[in-house]
């Protein structure tokens, strides 16, 4: 089975990751690159394991059906990256504007020399209410 798996990988130019994804999609079983590496290893190696027959049959059936090789879900298009960067820039600029606005409000509220005519809003004045006494 090891030779058959190796032949399929060379014939279809598959990586170990491609084999894992095909096995996962086709069988709904987990598969790791380490497992594929152990199936391909020389039997004399300590980490070598015999390749299960169902892996080769699943892989050959999947490849012969003409289905495309599944790709990772984390792969994103270049366009979505541009939108993500644009959104981050807009949020950053907005946060700077909000911070500047609140800083100006606090400065005007704490500075008794500024008169209300110099600004377009009244300073925030906190008064102690009966509720908090």
* DSSP secondary structure, 53-119, as one string: HHHHHHHHHHHHTTPPPP--TT---HHHHHHHHHHHHHHHHHHHHHHHHHHHHHHHHH-TTS-GGGS
Which of 65 and 116 is assigned the larger pLDDT? 65
The count of domains in the chain is 2
Residue 9 lies in a domain: yes
Would 37 be classed as within a structural domain? yes
pLDDT-based confidence at 103, cuts 50/70/90? confident
Kindly state whether residues 6 and 36 are assigned to the same domain.
Answer: yes
Contacts 24+ apart (CB under 8 A), 97-103: none
9 with 55, same domain? yes
Domain boundary among 64, 91, 108: 64
Is residue 31 in a domain?
Answer: yes
Q: What is the mean pLDDT of residues 4-9?
A: 91
- Domain assignment of residue 111, given as a range: 78-132
Radius of gyration of the chain (CA): 32
In a domain, 21, yes or no: yes
44 and 92 together in one domain: no
pLDDT at 7: 92
Q: Residue 50 falls within a domain, yes or no? A: yes
Looking at the fold, whether 82 and 125 belong to one and the same domain comes out as yes
pLDDT at residue 104, rounded to an integer: 75
89 and 48 housed in the same domain: no
Asked whether residue 7 is assigned to any structural domain, the reply reads yes
């Amino acid at each position: 089975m090891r030779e058959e798996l190796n032949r399929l990988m060379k014939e279809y130019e598959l990586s170990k990751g491609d084999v894992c994804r095909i096995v996962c999609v086709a069988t709904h079983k987990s598969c790791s690159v380490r497992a594929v590496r152990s199936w391909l290893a020389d039997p004399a190696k300590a980490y070598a394991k015999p390749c299960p027959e169902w892996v080769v049959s699943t892989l050959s059936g999947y490849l012969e059906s003409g289905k495309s090789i599944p790709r990772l879900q984390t792969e994103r298009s270049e366009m979505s990256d541009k939108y993500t960067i644009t959104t981050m820039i807009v949020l950053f600029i907005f946060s700077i504007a909000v911070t500047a606005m609140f800083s100006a409000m606090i400065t005007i509220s704490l500075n008794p020399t500024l008169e209300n005519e110099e600004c377009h809003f009244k300073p925030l004045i906190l008064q102690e209410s009966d509720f908090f006494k």
